[in-house]
């Protein structure tokens, strides 16, 4: 009996030594056939480890088994395999579930081959219909995972996640738990009652989701009708001096767009939750459903954490902007009082207080933005920095003309070249200034036109101001006529002044004046200059038209032709005025239809 025990021990030791020698040789000749390497790496080692404890008198810690394990570890270290991380990782999946990630080769077997062969081994074992028990066995070179006593795969130390400080035993424990869950899911998938229960639950969830979608649709329609009615009536109330702050059509379109976006967002959330719930009712798709639910929860958690984390900095930014708003309002109030009080600030008046307030507000808000920028959420991110660079480039490329227009507008305002209400001529465009803005100047011509002139163009051309030199209020009105040399100039002066007196809106004081601006070859040129202040804000064009009509009437009443003669030869009679006809009487009481006498027949009264 003793001899048999000793003989068994010798046989076990011999088997262990032979297996260790085979492992060393197989590892040393890594370039051999793939079948030999795979067998040595995944079949021979578990078989050797399992053979030692199966011997009746050879325990697991026998010297032969220890020698075999040591030899296997030495062979693994000495094998000319690629270092961990040199080959791509491979993930072992069973029934749509991740079991373990293999990150390093084992006995010259790549991670991809390890994962593929482990999957085949598990599928073959489960196909036998066993209980699906999962167990492990720890060896010096890793942890062997078995299913129903059959080898499945090995978790070695290089497979552990080193970034998290994971060990091989911890990685194996996680893999075992996942494998047991996957095996349980395969059995659940083959259970008819579980499948029917999942289908019924999914159908009920679908009905609930459809009902919620219909209810939300009806609720949003009712809310939309009320909001649109409120927006329709509220737009009429939001008026400043008769001008609507918000256009009704745009307000209604904005409300519709906002409600539509909110409704589709709610429907998308319902569809997302329905999909995650339905996928979680079936064993194979349950990981997808869990991933959807986990993703939504993680997203909400991240958003909530980001908002809570940004609240202190956001509070500081809001405080800075609040102080900026208070400073801007205080500056505006001070400038308004200074403009109303003469002598407070020489450079400030009613016309320049507007741009002064805008410039001060811009300076204050730029300073506040610079101070609050570090406290804005996301200001340190690359996306925010890239957006800042993009805005800067856009301003640099397209802001040169804009800055030029703004500078021209400020120069026009502070030099008081133009003022609102003045009648001016800018590059041949005559009209009344209705707005002097930072970038453009608007004028009304009185002929149903409103011109918008760039301030840079106004700065670069000659501006004739007909309102600046008048005495009191109003504007200057002037016109020119050319009359032949045979008409006394004193008579022309008297007729032009009479026509000005007849024109409504032309002031008697200061008196209208007539200037002879040129003595041409064929005729002298007369310019009538007067000051007009209409009783009502009539355009200058209407007053000028009435003046021209009165000039024609007065000249017709006195028998003077408004014509400019041109000569091709010397006339028979000289074109001059005798001294006795220098001052003919002015006819102002001629009856309509009466034929006037020729001008040369008029004689001065004795």
Looking at the fold, whether 84 and 13 belong to one and the same domain comes out as: yes
Domain-ending residue, one of 189, 217, 246: 189
Domain-ending residue, one of 189, 209, 238: 189
According to the model, what pLDDT value does residue 44 have? 36
Looking at the fold, whether 113 and 207 belong to one and the same domain comes out as: no
User: Where do we find the tokens 């749509």?
Assistant: 96
Q: Taking the CA atoms of the chain, what radius of gyration do you get in angstroms?
A: 51
Residue 329 dihedral angles phi and psi, to the nearest 5°: -65, -40
Looking at the fold, whether 162 and 207 belong to one and the same domain comes out as: no
When pLDDT is cut at 50, 70 and 90, the band that residue 404 belongs to is: confident
Looking at the fold, whether 201 and 185 belong to one and the same domain comes out as: no
* More confidently predicted of 299 and 199: 199
Tell me if 93 sits within 8 A of 119, measured CB to CB: yes
Q: Is residue 325 part of a domain?
A: no
Q: Is residue 430 part of a domain?
A: no
- Lowest mean per-residue pLDDT among 54-68, 367-381, 523-537: 54-68
Considering the chain, what is the average pLDDT of its residues? 77
CA–CA distance, 429 with 419 (Å, rounded to integer): 16
pLDDT at 349 over 50: yes
Q: Is residue 573 part of a domain?
A: yes
Tell me the CA distances in angstroms from 164 to 89, 90, 161, 371, 500, one per residue in order: 17, 18, 6, 40, 100
Mean pLDDT for 228-256 is 67
When pLDDT is cut at 50, 70 and 90, the band that residue 507 belongs to is: confident
Mean pLDDT for 245-256 is 73
pLDDT > 70: percent of the chain = 73
Cα-to-chain-centroid distance, residue 70:
65
Looking at the fold, whether 17 and 152 belong to one and the same domain comes out as: yes
pLDDT tens for 148-191 read 999 999 999 988 888 888 888 899 899 999 999 999 988 888 88
According to the model, what pLDDT value does residue 585 have? 79
Tokens linked to 498: 């009479």
CA–CA distance, 428 with 600 (Å, rounded to integer): 39
When pLDDT is cut at 50, 70 and 90, the band that residue 235 belongs to is: low
pLDDT tens for 306-340 read 888 888 888 999 999 999 999 999 988 888 887 77
Q: Is residue 431 part of a domain?
A: no
Q: Is residue 92 part of a domain?
A: yes
Q: Is residue 374 part of a domain?
A: no
Q: Is residue 410 part of a domain?
A: no
Looking at the fold, whether 544 and 486 belong to one and the same domain comes out as: yes
pLDDT at 84 over 70: no
When pLDDT is cut at 50, 70 and 90, the band that residue 60 belongs to is: very low
Residue 516 sits in a domain whose CATH number is 3.30.70.100
According to the model, what pLDDT value does residue 66 have? 40
According to the model, what pLDDT value does residue 8 have? 53
Q: How many domains does the chain have?
A: 3
Q: Is residue 412 part of a domain?
A: no
Mean pLDDT for 577-595 is 65
According to the model, what pLDDT value does residue 602 have? 36
Candidate ranges 152-156, 231-235, 587-591; pick with highest mean pLDDT: 152-156
- Of 114, 328, 285, the closest CA to residue 198 belongs to 285
Residue 441 dihedral angles phi and psi, to the nearest 5°: -125, 130
pLDDT at 513 over 80: yes
According to the model, what pLDDT value does residue 605 have? 37
Looking at the fold, whether 208 and 254 belong to one and the same domain comes out as: yes
Looking at the fold, whether 46 and 92 belong to one and the same domain comes out as: yes
CA–CA distance, 576 with 581 (Å, rounded to integer): 10
Mean pLDDT for 199-223 is 92
Query: Which string of b and e fits 463-496 if b means at least 16 CB within 10 Å?
Result: bebbbbebeeebbbbebebebbbbbbeebbbbbb
pLDDT at 603 over 50: no
Looking at the fold, whether 83 and 221 belong to one and the same domain comes out as: no
According to the model, what pLDDT value does residue 243 have? 57
According to the model, what pLDDT value does residue 591 have? 52
- Lowest mean per-residue pLDDT among 19-23, 64-68, 357-361, 373-377: 64-68
Looking at the fold, whether 185 and 239 belong to one and the same domain comes out as: no
- Lowest mean per-residue pLDDT among 171-180, 189-198, 254-263, 349-358: 349-358
pLDDT at 71 over 70: no
Sheet holding 475-482, edge to edge: 475-482, 524-532, 513-519
- The pTM (predicted TM-score) of the whole model is 0.45
Q: Which residue range forms the structural domain that includes residue 259?
A: 192-284
Looking at the fold, whether 14 and 76 belong to one and the same domain comes out as: yes
CA–CA distance, 336 with 338 (Å, rounded to integer): 5
Tell me if 107 sits within 8 A of 80, measured CB to CB: no
Domain-ending residue, one of 257, 284, 311: 284
Residues in the chain: 606
Mean pLDDT for 445-460 is 82
When pLDDT is cut at 50, 70 and 90, the band that residue 119 belongs to is: very high
pLDDT > 90: percent of the chain = 23
* More confidently predicted of 245 and 102: 102
pLDDT tens for 515-549 read 999 998 888 999 999 888 765 445 677 888 899 99
pLDDT at 127 over 50: yes
Looking at the fold, whether 148 and 277 belong to one and the same domain comes out as: no
């Amino acid at each position: 009996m003793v001899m048999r025990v000793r003989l068994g021990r010798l046989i076990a030791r011999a088997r262990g030594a032979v297996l260790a020698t085979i492992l060393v040789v197989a590892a040393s000749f890594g370039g051999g056939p793939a079948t030999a390497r795979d067998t040595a790496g995944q079949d021979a080692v578990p078989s050797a480890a399992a053979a030692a404890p199966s011997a009746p008198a050879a325990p697991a810690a026998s010297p032969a088994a220890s020698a075999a394990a040591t030899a296997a570890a030495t062979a693994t270290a000495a094998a000319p395999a690629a270092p961990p991380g040199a080959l791509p990782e491979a993930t072992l999946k069973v029934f749509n579930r991740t079991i373990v990630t293999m990150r390093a080769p084992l006995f010259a077997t790549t991670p991809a081959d390890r994962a593929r062969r482990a999957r085949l081994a598990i599928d073959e074992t489960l196909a036998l219909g066993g209980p699906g028990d999962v167990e492990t066995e720890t060896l010096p070179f890793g942890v062997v995972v078995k299913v129903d006593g059959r080898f499945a795969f090995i978790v070695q130390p290089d497979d552990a996640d080193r970034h998290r400080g994971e060990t091989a035993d911890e990685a194996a424990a996680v893999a075992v738990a996942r494998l047991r869950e996957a095996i349980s899911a395969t059995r659940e998938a083959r259970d008819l009652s579980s499948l029917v229960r999942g289908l019924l639950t999914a159908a009920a969830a679908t009905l609930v989701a459809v009902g919620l979608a219909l209810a939300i649709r009806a609720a949003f329609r009712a809310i939309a009708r009320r909001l649109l009615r409120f927006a329709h009536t509220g737009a009429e109330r939001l008026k400043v001096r008769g001008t609507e702050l918000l256009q009704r059509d745009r307000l209604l379109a904005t409300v519709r767009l906002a409600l539509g976006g909110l409704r589709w967002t709610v429907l998308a959330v319902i569809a997302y939750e329905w999909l995650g719930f339905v996928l979680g009712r079936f064993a194979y798709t349950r990981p997808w459903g869990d991933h959807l639910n986990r993703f939504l929860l993680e997203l909400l958690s991240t958003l909530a954490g980001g908002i809570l984390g940004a609240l202190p900095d956001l509070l500081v930014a809001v405080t800075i902007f609040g102080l900026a708003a208070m400073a801007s309002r205080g500056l505006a109030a001070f400038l308004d009082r200074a403009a109303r009080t003469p002598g407070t600030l020489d450079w400030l008046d009613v016309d320049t207080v507007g741009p002064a307030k805008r410039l001060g507000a811009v300076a204050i808000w730029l300073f506040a933005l610079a101070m609050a920028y570090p406290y804005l959420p996301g200001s340190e991110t690359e996306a925010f920095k890239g957006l800042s660079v993009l805005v800067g480039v856009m301003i640099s490329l397209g802001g040169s003309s804009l800055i030029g227009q703004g500078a021209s507008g400020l120069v026009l305002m502070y030099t008081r070249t133009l003022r609102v209400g003045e009648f001016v001529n800018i590059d041949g465009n005559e009209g009344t200034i209705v707005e002097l803005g930072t970038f453009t100047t608007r004028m009304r011509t009185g002929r149903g036109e409103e011109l918008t002139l760039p301030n840079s163009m106004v700065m670069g051309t000659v501006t004739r101001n007909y309102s600046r030199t008048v005495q009191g209020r109003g504007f200057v009105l002037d016109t020119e006529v050319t009359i032949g040399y045979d008409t006394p100039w004193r008579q022309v002066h008297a007729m032009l002044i009479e026509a000005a007196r007849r024109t409504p809106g032309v002031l008697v004081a200061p008196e209208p004046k007539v200037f002879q601006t040129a003595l041409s070859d064929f005729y002298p040129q007369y310019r009538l200059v007067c000051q007009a202040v209409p009783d009502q804000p009539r355009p200058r064009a209407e007053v000028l038209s009435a003046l021209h009509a009165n000039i024609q009437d007065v000249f017709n009443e006195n028998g003077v032709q408004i014509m400019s003669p041109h000569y091709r030869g010397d006339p028979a009679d000289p074109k001059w005025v005798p001294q006795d006809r220098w001052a003919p009487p002015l006819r102002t009481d001629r009856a309509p239809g009466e034929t006037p006498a020729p001008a040369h027949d008029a004689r001065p009264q004795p």
